[in-house]
């Protein structure tokens, strides 16, 4: 079995690249690393089934490495080095770098679900509407300072940005269909987004996507729902601003093109989307249960 270290030198503050991880991994017993830069040569062409790919970067880097692992049957290990690191939160990995390397060396492997948006893989969340703002509007400095609360910080700007009315879309899931006006749509494969905000009821181990659809409401009501969900881990029972459902497939048709993001990356605009879950498709190194 070969170990690869794929480092993204642009992730986070840039201080957790190969030079940071190599000595720690070697102390943990992982030697003879094949070190490559994420944006350099076509390292993924040399992967083989049974290899272990350790990716040092944020969610965008993890996304690319995950797709490479799926294509060849390799195992993915994550060394969180970005701003949000949301997918890593699903895996119960320790935050201390040396402890993380020891866990990585033990190579306890589990299988997790991955989502597909048409032919694009996603591990965390697809956003349409409000949820795209931290990616398209918030600065890197704002996201780093506010972390998981950068979404809440954007809410008062909705009126200025002209987004209070939302957009009209029909949503079709396994057993339901709804056509109305929405402020935001989120389709989650993993349980976290936005630097640690938990999606209630979502899991990368249940073989389902979690759709969270937010209706247009006054920004203070949305802020209340957001904070209540963040603190309690579930959507408020007395608030009709949120519709949530688990499904294996989600089809969305909009009356006009809207901006779409997935795992914090901009995907452009679309007026029709289809998402599905691929249950247990990806082998990953995980921490304690």
Q: Where are the domains of the chain?
A: 3-107, 120-280
> Does residue 145 have a pLDDT over 50?
no
CB atoms within 10 A of CB 16: 21
Residue 143: what are its φ and ψ, rounded to 5°? -65, -35
Identify the CA nearest to 148 among candidates 115, 129, 125: 125
Identify the CA nearest to 104 among candidates 31, 208, 165: 31
Q: What is the pLDDT of residue 67?
A: 94
Superfamily of domain 3-107 in CATH is: Probable inorganic polyphosphate/atp-NAD kinase; domain 1 (3.40.50.10330)
Q: What is the pLDDT of residue 77?
A: 97
Fold equal for 3-107 and 120-280: no
- The pTM (predicted TM-score) of the whole model is 0.85
> Does residue 21 have a pLDDT over 60?
yes
Identify the CA nearest to 10 among candidates 104, 64, 83: 83
Report d(CA 139, CA 145) in Å as an integer.
10
The architecture of the domain spanning 120-280 is: Sandwich (2.60)
Beta-carbon contacts of 113 under 8 Å, excluding residues fewer than 6 positions away, are 189, 204, 205, 206, 207, 208, 277, 278, 279, 280, 281, 282
Question: For the segment 253-266, what is each residue's pLDDT rounded down to a tens digit?
Answer: 999 999 999 987 88
The mean pLDDT value for 53-68 works out to 92
The mean pLDDT value for 57-79 works out to 93
């Amino acid at each position: 079995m070969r170990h690869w270290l794929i480092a993204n030198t642009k992730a986070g503050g840039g201080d957790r690249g190969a030079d940071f991880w190599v000595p720690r991994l070697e102390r943990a017993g992982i030697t003879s690393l094949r070190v490559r830069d994420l944006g350099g040569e076509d390292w993924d062409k040399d992967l083989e089934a049974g290899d272990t790919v350790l990716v040092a970067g944020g969610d965008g880097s993890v996304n690319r490495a995950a797709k490479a692992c799926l294509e060849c049957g390799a195992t993915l290990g994550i060394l969180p080095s970005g701003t949000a690191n949301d997918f890593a939160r699903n895996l119960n990995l320790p935050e201390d770098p040396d402890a993380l390397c020891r866990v990585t060396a033990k190579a306890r492997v589990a299988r997790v679900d991955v989502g597909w948006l048409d032919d694009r893989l996603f591990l965390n969340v697809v956003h349409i509407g409000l949820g795209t703002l931290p990616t398209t509007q918030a600065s890197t400095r704002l996201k780093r300072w506010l972390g998981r609360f950068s979404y809440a910080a954007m809410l008062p700007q909705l009126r200025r940005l002209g987004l209070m009315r939302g957009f009209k879309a029909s949503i079709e899931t396994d057993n339901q269909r709804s056509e109305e006006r929405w402020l935001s749509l989120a389709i989650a494969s993993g349980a976290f987004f936005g630097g640690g905000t938990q999606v209630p009821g979502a899991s990368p181990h249940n073989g389902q996507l979690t759709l969270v659809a937010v209706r247009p409401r006054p920004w203070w009501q949305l802020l209340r729902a957001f904070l209540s969900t963040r603190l309690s881990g579930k959507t408020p029972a007395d608030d009709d601003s949120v519709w949530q459902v688990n499904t294996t497939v989600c089809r969305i048709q909009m009356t006009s093109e809207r901006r779409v993001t997935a795992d914090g990356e901009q995907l452009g605009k679309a007026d029709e989307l289809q998402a599905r879950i691929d249950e247990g498709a990806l082998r990953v190194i995980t921490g304690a249960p």
